[in-house]
Structure 1
Amino acid sequence: MKAAVLKRFGSPLDVEEVEDPLLGTGEIIVDIVAAGVLSYANEVFSGERQYLLELPVIPGTGGIGRVSALGPDATHLAIGDWVYCDPTVRSRDNAIAPDINLQGLSARGPGGLRLQRHFRHGSFAERMRVPTENAKPIGVIDPADAARWCALGTLLVPYGGFLAAKLQAGEIVLVSGATGRFGSAAVAVALAMGAAAVVAPGRNDAMLAELTRRFGSRVHPVKLSGDETEDARRMTRAAPGAIDCVLDIMPPSVTANVVRPAIMAVRPYGRVVLMGGVGMLGGPGLELPYPWIMRNCVTIQGVWMYPASAAVRMVGLIKAGLIDLTQFEPTCFDLDHANEAVTHAAEHREPFRMTVIKP
């Protein structure tokens, strides 16, 4: 089969013929129709992000395709079924604290690296091998829509945060990082889950206006000033009531002083979910006041990715029309132009825009 292979950090992908993946028990082979390209894929491939990723590797996190082979433990899927290849691969021998590997991208710790050595290759290929439980059925779709279904890779991340926060219909949400790719998706997801209002702080006036245009009066934009005290005041005033839940999904380039006022805008007994990259590049820590957390009974939870059931639930939201995939605008490349796709993704990071490889 043809695939794009990363052989050395800092070198372009080599598009070449490689061996087909072999099917084992507990595994499924998927013919890839569309694979999303992360906006920061170039930073991973250059080695800048220093992700735990052994080479050579076929990169690509998640993809949309059709089942072409399955093992004896698959009791519901059938050849030809449309599936989402969920890249969040978990070890099967520790149900309480499984190791995690993001197939085609990175591993978490030594256990995740061991997992990666088997489930390493991703979706920048004509075919991909995934654990049986990671082939998530999406039902019948128009093949022409496969590229837009790659939006699952973006939508599922904030969805995992809201599931962890046990977001309830009618609650007021604040999305810290709302004008970014994952933050704007979080706005869409919160509203689809029944949030009464979403407070959307940011410095990008055009994107704040765009969020209001797309989602209407339930979005409450807030222009940030850069002053912690003033920004906390602006966010609290913009909310139509007490803020029940804060989701932070800021990128690594943001410092803690930008995140802190958003977190501290939550009401007493409120919940805060941290999903961003703040602190990954160094600098001061978050430094939240101990008395404020304790006396206000605030729950602060770190969440990485999403539970195994999230993809199926998200498909349900999409099929019900609660999330509109036509909001996402894909630009597609064939596999021979994988390097051009990586460059395009880095240069077009705007929310609701996607770069997709179609093998």
Structure 2
Amino acid sequence: MKAAVLKAFGSPLAIESVPAPALGTGEVIVDVAATRVLAYAKEVFSGERQYLLGLPAIPGPGAVGRVRAVGPDAAHLATGDWVYCDPTVRSRDDVVAPDILLQGWTARSDGSLRLQKHFRHGSFAEQMRVPTENAVRIGTLDEAAAASWCALGTLLVPYGGLAAVKLAAGEAVLINGATGAFGSAGVAVALAMGASRVIATGRNGRALEDLARRFGDRVRTVKMLGNEEDDRARIQRAAPEPIDCVLDLLPPAATASQVRTAVLAVRPHGRVVLMGGVGMSDAGGLDLPYSWLMRNCITLRGQWMYARDAIARMVGLIRAGLVKLDDFHFTTFGLDDANEAVAHAADNAGPFRMTVIRP
């Protein structure tokens, strides 16, 4: 089969023929119909992000495709089923604290590095092998719709955070970093989950205006200007009711102060979930006030990716029309043009924009 192979960090992807993946028990082979190219893929492939990915490897986290073959343990999956290939691979031998790997992207621990030796290769290929539980049925699709369904990979991240803090219908939520790809998707997801109000923060005024135009009066935007106390005061003025929970999705380039601005805006007994990349480069802390957290009974948690049942729930929101894939604009490339796709993704990042490879 044909695949795009990363042989060394800093080198272009090599488009070449490689052996097709072999099926084992507990596994599924999927014909890849479409796979998204993340905006920061160029930084991963250059080595700038220092992701743990054993090379050579076929990169690419997640895909939409059709089942080619299933192992003997599959009870429901069948050849021809349309599935989302979830890149979040969890070790099966520790149910309490499983190691987590992003297939075709990065490992996070010694255990996930061992797991990566088997589930290393990702979606920049005509076929890929995934654990049985990671091939999630998404219903009947028209072949042409496969690219738009790649938006699942973007939508699932903020959904994982909002589900983790149990966002309830009728609550007000603050999305911190709402002008990026994941943050803007978080606005759409929060509204679909029934949020009465979404406070969307960011530094890109044009992107904030677009969010307000897309989603109407339930969204209030606040442009962050850099002064922590002033920004927090403007957040609280924009919210007509107390803020029940905060989802932070700020990128690695942001500062701890920008996170703290939003965290301290939550109401007493409020909830905060951290999903962004702040501190990756300098390992800095948030320096949150102990007494404020304690006296106000604040729930603070981190969340990496999402629970396993999140995919089926997100598919349900899409099928019900509560999340609209039409909001996303995508540009497609063939597998032979994978390097061009990576460059395009870096140069065309932003809310509701996707770069997609169609092998």
Give TM-score, length-normalised by structure 1. 0.99
CA deviation map 1:118-150 (0-9, x unaligned)? 001000000000000000100001111100100
Runs of 4+ in 1 over 4 A off after TM superposition: none
User: How far has the Cα of 1:106 moved from its partner?
Assistant: 0.1
Matches within 5 A, 1:51-62: 51-62=51-62
Residue 268 of structure 1 is matched in structure 2 by 268
Q: Does residue 328 of the first structure (1) align with residue 328 of the second (2)?
A: yes
Matched, 1:72 2:72: yes
CA deviation string 1:316-340 (max 9, x = no partner): 0000000000101110000000000
- Provide Cα deviations, 1:188-237, integer angstroms capped at 9, x if missing partner: 00000000000011221111110011111100011222111111111011
1:250 offset after TM fit, Å? 0.2
Aligned pairs for 1:85-124 within 5 A: 85-124=85-124
Contact 1:255 1:283 in 2 (8 A): no
Aligned ranges for residues 117-196 of structure 1 at < 5 Å? 117-196=117-196
Question: 1:20 corresponds to which residue?
Answer: 20
The equivalent of 2:234 in structure 1 is 234
Q: What is residue 308 of structure 1 aligned with on the other side?
A: 308
Question: 1:298 is matched with which residue?
Answer: 298
- CA deviation map 1:130-182 (0-9, x unaligned): 00000010000111110010001100000000111011000000000011110
Are residues 1:248 and 2:252 paired?
no
Give deviations 1:63-82, integer Å, cap 9, x for gaps.
Answer: 00000000111111110000
**Separation of aligned partners in 1, 2:141 and 2:217:** 31
Distance 2:201 2:312 in 1: 30
Equivalent residue, structure 2, for 1:356: 356
% identical aligned pairs? 68
CA deviation string 1:62-112 (max 9, x = no partner): 000000000111111110000000000000011111001100000111001
Q: Distance in 1 between matches of 2:57 and 2:213?
A: 41
Output the CA distance in 2 between the equivalents of 1:205 and 1:222: 9
Gaps of 5+ in 2: none
Inter-partner Cα distance in structure 2 for 1:164 and 1:134: 20
The alpha carbon displacement at 1:350 in A equals 1.3
Task: Number of aligned residue pairs: give it.
Answer: 359
What amino acid maps onto 1:192 in structure 2? A
Q: Specify the alignment match of 1:223 in structure 2.
A: 223
Q: Contact between 1:247 and 1:272, CA under 8 Å: does it hold in 2? A: yes
SS at match of 2:336: helix
Which residue matches 1:202?
202
Distance in 2, Cα, partners of 1:144 & 1:218: 32
| Alpha-carbon distance between aligned partners in 2 of 1:180 and 1:227, rounded to the nearest angstrom | 20
Looking at structure 2, the residues matched to 74 and 3 of structure 1 have their Cα atoms a distance apart, in angstroms, of 26
Secondary structure, aligned partner of 1:243:
coil
- The SS at the match of 2:35 is strand
Q: Using the alignment, how far apart are the partners of 2:353 and 2:219 within structure 1?
A: 20
Alignment of 1:35-54 (within 5 A): 35-54=35-54
Q: Secondary structure at the match of 2:270?
A: strand
Q: Distance in 2 between matches of 1:323 and 1:283?
A: 35
Cα distance in 1 for partners of 2:308, 2:105 equals 18
Deviation at 1:284, TM superposition (A): 3.9
> TM-score w.r.t. structure 2 length?
0.99
Distance in 2 between the 1:55 and 1:205 partners?
40
Q: Secondary structure at the match of 1:221?
A: strand
The aligned amino acid for 2:208 is L
Which whole-Å CA distance do the structure 1 matches of 2:183 and 2:10 have between them?
Answer: 29
Instruction: Find the residue that maps to 2:50 and give its secondary structure.
Output: coil
1:283 Cα shift?
6.2
Give, in whole Å, the separation in 2 of the partners of 1:202 and 1:71.
46
